[in-house]
Structures are given as structure tokens and as C-alpha cells.
């Protein structure tokens, strides 16, 4: 293989607040349902924000076994279960013949924050001798990638990316490039996050990044709405099986979509705020389209980063206008964070899967809770419910604190 190898998606797996499979989540997304509720992982009383989009009724011991599940932090458990679904859909079998050619690139922005908080409390209350020896492997952000490779026997490229809320998109994009340059024939790619913890929520409240509206939780995430006041924390995992086209064809795999573009850029502007006019975001989108040799007007749908922050939604809107010109007003755009909340490092990979489903089924997901449009956000955000259309090319945007930007482009396979 040489640079330029076509890369396709043959399997997906997902756990979110709306379902514990890709199908469950996708059906709820099309129906415009919200997964946001009052936090159940801990008592949020006293916090300015008290809502999140948590994975409900998750029983990892059923899939992973009680002993193994106890030795994994929640973000690893989520990634492992999502991987099993993706592998099952793909039908990819890893054996002695191909195991050196299959890699794992699974990201997390934060890793096992819950374990860090709990271990610190043990240290303070009971002393250093009582800190668990499993603390380190449960807290580090690369452990989902490591555990997955051990479980499936994949010995190809194996690592994690940490780039804040762009982590999942970067993971999928870099896995795509890994196959294109010939370092693997298949990659297990995506991200997982489970950071709905007291420390994380308090910290995001401290920088006024999350919604503190005292309304029905399902209405708290309001991308592009004039009354938006921040994002809603979420958790979950999204895993994709990427393969070189020739490898997928050789084993007669069902191809869900093709990955045709990826680019990563930086704002070089501010540690938490986006570039005011979205210059870095625009560059990521423009480079993605150029590398895919796609004209802006050919894009059928954009899954926006759309976090419902005051600055972010305006900057992304301006960036889309800069790249797409007049065509920006004709392209359906939606923020699925209005339903799933913001999965932080896992957002990009989950939203990549939603783009794959949009391409497969010809449906643009809605943006819910957009009741009072911000005059500065004046594009078509699919506020009137899911829309059926021919989605030939779907673009997914992900941006993160530190000025990290990533865009991915998915195409109907033909």
C-alpha cells in the first residue's frame, strides 16, 4: 500500500445517554430526544450546574466479566463494550496472520478522573499504603487503547490522542492516515470519556463553560440559541473500524461509508476561547475539502461542534461562512450535542459515527432546543426535526480547549 489508499468504515459501536448501541442512539437522535437529566453519578446539590448526559443502566460486568470490569475505569469499560459492537458489525477477525497489521487508536481527553479523585481521597483519609495498585492503569488516558489491543490481540500501531474536545476526531483522522500511509490494514479508532465527576463539574462551572439554567434538563443544551449559556457535560464512547478498501473487499465486508478527508489545525489564540472569527476552524475545514478534492458546494451536511457556548457557536458559524460562502446558507447543519450533551474527548468519534449514519440512511439529524435563533447564527441548523435528504458528503467538526481543531469528511461509498 502507498499513500492514497482508500479507507472505508466497516463497523461502528457507540454508548451514549441515548442508547447502548449505535442503532439505539441513532434512532433516538432522529427522533430528536434528549439524554440530559439531573446527575445521578453523585449528588450535585450545591453545584451551579446539576445536569449531564450520562450513560444510564450500564452494566459492564455483563459484557466484560466482573473481575475484568472491576480493574477498568468507566471510560475504558465504555470503550471496550463499544469496540465489541464495532467488531461484531464489521466482522473483522484478528488472528496470527493479520494481528501485526491491525492497530488501535482510542483517545480520551481526561482519562480516569474518577479514579484520581477517589485515590486522592484514600490517600488523605487512610494514607499512602491504602492507595490501590490499579490506580495508575485505571487513570491514564491511553489505557482504553491498551486494554482493547490486549483483548483483541492487535499488535499494530497503538496509542491515544489527548487534544481536549477534538481528541475523538483526531483519533479517527490519524487512524485514517495510518492506513493511508501503509502502517496498518485496519484500525480500531475512536474515543471514550467518563468525566461526570464532582471535580470536573466544579471546574467547568468555575470557568462558566457549562449551562446553569434552572429549566427542564432536556432543554439545557441550546446550540445556536440566543438563550444558550454553555454546554451540558456528557459521557460515552464511539468506536469505528477503519480498513483499507482492498482489505475490506478481500474479506467481503459490508462498507458503511468512505473516509475521504481529514485535517488538523490550531487557533494559536487562547487557552479556552476560540479564535473570534474561527480562523483555525475555517482552515481545518478548508484543508479537509482540499485534501479530499471536494468543492465546498458539494458538501451535503455538516455536523457542527456546536457546544452552545456564546463565543464558540458564533465563531463556528463565521468559519463555515468563510469556507462555504453563499453555499453555507444552503447546507443543513446540526449540533447533536443538543441531544447528547458534550462528550468532551469522545464527542468527535461519536459525531463521526452519526455522520456515517447520515450518509448511510440519507438523514440530517436535528438541532433541538433552538427556539430563539441568535441573529449572529443565521444558517440552517435543522431546527425543525430530522430531515431526509441525499447525504453524499458529511463533514464533522471538532474543536478543543488549547485551540485544537479537526475536521473529518465522510462520503457515500461507491
pLDDT tens sequence across 342-372: 999 999 999 999 999 999 999 999 999 999 9
pLDDT of residue 3: 62
Q: In what order do the strands lie in the sheet containing 102-107?
A: 158-159, 102-107, 186-193, 236-244, 7-15, 257-266, 404-411, 393-400, 301-303, 333-334
* 409 occurs within a structural domain: no
Residue 35 and residue 167 in one domain? yes
Q: Is the pTM of this model over 0.85?
A: yes
8 A C-beta contact, residue 211 and residue 231: yes
Q: What does the pLDDT look like over 4-52, one tens digit per residue?
A: 799 999 999 999 999 999 999 999 999 999 999 999 999 999 999 999 9
One domain for residues 213 and 296: no
Tell me: pLDDT of 140 over 50.
Answer: yes
Contacts 24+ apart (CB under 8 A), 121-130: none
Pair 272, 246 in one domain: no
Q: Flag whether 414 is in a domain.
A: no
pLDDT tens for each residue of 79-126: 999 999 999 999 999 999 999 999 999 999 999 999 999 999 999 999
pLDDT of residue 173: 98
Mean residue pLDDT of the chain comes to 97
Annotation says 165 is catalytic: yes
Note whether 338 and 207 are same-domain residues.
no
CATH of the domain at 186: 3.40.47.10
The predicted-structure confidence for 282-328, as pLDDT tens digits, reads as follows 999 999 999 999 999 999 999 999 999 999 999 999 999 999 999 99
CA distance 81 to 76: 9
**222 and 281 fall within a common domain:** no
Using DSSP's 3-state secondary structure scheme, residue 85 falls into helix
Domain C-terminal end among 229, 250, 271: 250
Selection from 152, 6, 86, 112 nearest residue 352 by Cα: 86
Is 330 part of a structural domain of the chain? yes
Same domain for 213 and 285, yes or no, is no
pLDDT score, position 17? 98
State which residues form the domain around 359: 263-402
For the chain, what is the domain count? 2
**310-324 vs 279-292: helix axis angle to the nearest 10?**
40
Among this protein's residues, is 372 annotated catalytic?
Answer: no
Which of 192, 222, 250 corresponds to the end of one domain? 250
Q: Does one domain contain both 22 and 104?
A: yes
SS3 5: coil
1: confidence class by pLDDT, cuts 50, 70, 90: very low
Query: Which residue, chain included where needed, has cell 449540533?
Result: 335
> What pLDDT score was predicted for residue 414?
86
| DSSP E strand boundaries for 95-214 | 102-107, 158-159, 186-193
The one-character DSSP state at 228 is: -
Both 206 and 310 in one domain: the answer is no
Assess whether 75 and 155 both reside in one domain.
Answer: yes
Q: What is the pLDDT of residue 4?
A: 74
Chain Cα centroid distance, residue 122: 32
Phi and psi, residue 233, nearest 5° = -65, 140
DSSP H helical ranges for 183-309:
198-206, 245-250, 279-292
Known catalytic membership, residue 404? no
Judged on CB neighbours under 10 Å (0-12, 13-18, 19+), 283 is buried
pLDDT 10s digits, 198-249: 999 999 999 999 999 999 999 999 999 999 999 999 999 999 999 999 999 9
Rounded CA-CA distance 399/274 in Å is 8
- State pLDDT tens for residues 152-199: 999 999 999 999 999 999 999 999 999 999 999 999 999 999 999 999
Spot the catalytic one: 170, 247, 305, 404: 305
Out of 247, 342, 355, 404, the active site residue is 342
pLDDT score, position 399: 98
CB 39 within 8 A of CB 53: no
At residue 2 the predicted structure's pLDDT band, cuts being 50, 70 and 90, is very low
Question: Which pLDDT value is given to residue 354?
Answer: 98
Domain final residue pick, 225, 250, 275? 250
* pLDDT tens per residue across span 19-31: 999 999 999 999 9
Amino acid at each position: 500500500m502507498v499513500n492514497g489508499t482508500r479507507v472505508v468504515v466497516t463497523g461502528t459501536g457507540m454508548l451514549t445517554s441515548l442508547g447502548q448501541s449505535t442503532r439505539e442512539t441513532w434512532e433516538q437522535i432522529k427522533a430528536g430526544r434528549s439524554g440530559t437529566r439531573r446527575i445521578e453519578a453523585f449528588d450535585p446539590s450545591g453545584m451551579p450546574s446539576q445536569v449531564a448526559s450520562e450513560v444510564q443502566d450500564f452494566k459492564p460486568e455483563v459484557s466484560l466479566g466482573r473481575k475484568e470490569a472491576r480493574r477498568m475505569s468507566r471510560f475504558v469499560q465504555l470503550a471496550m463494550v463499544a469496540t465489541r459492537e464495532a467488531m461484531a458489525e464489521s466482522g473483522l477477525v484478528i488472528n496470527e496472520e493479520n494481528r501485526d497489521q491491525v492497530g488501535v487508536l482510542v483517545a480520551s481527553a481526561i482519562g480516569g478522573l474518577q479514579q484520581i479523585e477517589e485515590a486522592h481521597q484514600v490517600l488523605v483519609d487512610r494514607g499512602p499504603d491504602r492507595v490501590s495498585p490499579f490506580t495508575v492503569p485505571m487513570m491514564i488516558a491511553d489505557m482504553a487503547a491498551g486494554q482493547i489491543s490486549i483483548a483483541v490481540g492487535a499488535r499494530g500501531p497503538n496509542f491515544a490522542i489527548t487534544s481536549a474536545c477534538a481528541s475523538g476526531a483526531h483519533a479517527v483522522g490519524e487512524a485514517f492516515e495510518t492506513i493511508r500511509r501503509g502502517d496498518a490494514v485496519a484500525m480500531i479508532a475512536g474515543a471514550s470519556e467518563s468525566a461526570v465527576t464532582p471535580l470536573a463539574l466544579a471546574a467547568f462551572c468555575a470557568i462558566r463553560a457549562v449551562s446553569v439554567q434552572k429549566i427542564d434538563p432536556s432543554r439545557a443544551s441550546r446550540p445556536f440559541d440566543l438563550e444558550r449559556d454553555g454546554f451540558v457535560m456528557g459521557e460515552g464512547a464511539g468506536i469505528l473500524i477503519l480498513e483499507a478498501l482492498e482489505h475490506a473487499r478481500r474479506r467481503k465486508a459490508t462498507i458503511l461509508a468512505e473516509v475521504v478527508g481529514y485535517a488538523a489545525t490550531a487557533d494559536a489564540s487562547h487557552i479556552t476561547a476560540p479564535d473570534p472569527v474561527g480562523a483555525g476552524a475555517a482552515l481545518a475545514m478548508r484543508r479537509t475539502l482540499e485534501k479530499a478534492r471536494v468543492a465546498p458546494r458539494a458538501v451535503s451536511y455538516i455536523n457542527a461542534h456546536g457546544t452552545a457556548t456564546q463565543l464558540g457557536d458564533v465563531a463556528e458559524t463565521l468559519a463555515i461562512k468563510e469556507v462555504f460562502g453563499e453555499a453555507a446558507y444552503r447546507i443543513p447543519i446540526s449540533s447533536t450535542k443538543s441531544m447528547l450533551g458534550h462528550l468532551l474527548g469522545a464527542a468527535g468519534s461519536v459525531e463521526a459515527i452519526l455522520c456515517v449514519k447520515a450518509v448511510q440512511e440519507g438523514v440530517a439529524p436535528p438541532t433541538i432546543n433552538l427556539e430563539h435563533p441568535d441573529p449572529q447564527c443565521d444558517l440552517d441548523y435543522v431546527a425543525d426535526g430530522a430531515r431526509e435528504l441525499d447525504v453524499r458528503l458529511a463533514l464533522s467538526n471538532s474543536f478543543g480547549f488549547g485551540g485544537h481543531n479537526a475536521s473529518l469528511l465522510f462520503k457515500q461509498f461507491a
